Structure 1
Amino acid sequence: MKNFARIEWMHWAVERRLEILGEAAGQVSNAFQLSHPDIPWKEIKGIRLVLAHRYGDVNLHQLWQTLQRDVPDLLPKLDALIPPVESS
């Protein structure tokens, strides 16, 4: 956390990636979201709103906790939803 807080470009990069993830989640249909209740769609979209619109200062400790606790669990679940690319 100490290095993360000191390296400004690093937390900007994490913020931006979470914004992109939230924006993408907002493009997912309600039907698809309902068929995958193990994905925290509302929370993903919510963090994007906070980061994109700066509702108060971004709490670096909370950002770090999200990165360490939530993202590692979430990414494999999202990866599993992406259909494999067929090679020709």
Structure 2
Amino acid sequence: MGLFSAIYGLGLRCRKFFVKPQTLPVKVISVGNLTLGGTGKTPAVIAIAQEAKERGFMPCILTRGYKGKSKGPCWIGEGRGARGK
């Protein structure tokens, strides 16, 4: 386990050196963890988005998707996309 931790730590340091953080002109809330499925992330995101709308914000939900097949960004907004009506 010690060897794995050392290799992982080295990878993190290399990533931190080569990947510079970007500042966005909007507020960002990130919801996630290392567990897949059944931990309540989707209901939490829905609740956060509803609260944001009630406070006058226009929430935008970004997801990489579980086992997604998309090669690039896919816009889903009001009136179009998977849930647009």
Give the TM-score taking structure 2 as reference length. Answer: 0.30
Rg larger in 1 or in 2?
2
Give the TM-score taking structure 1 as reference length. Answer: 0.29
Question: Which has the higher relative contact order, 1 or 2, with Cα contacts under 8 A spaced 6 or more apart?
Answer: 1
Richer in helix (by share): 1
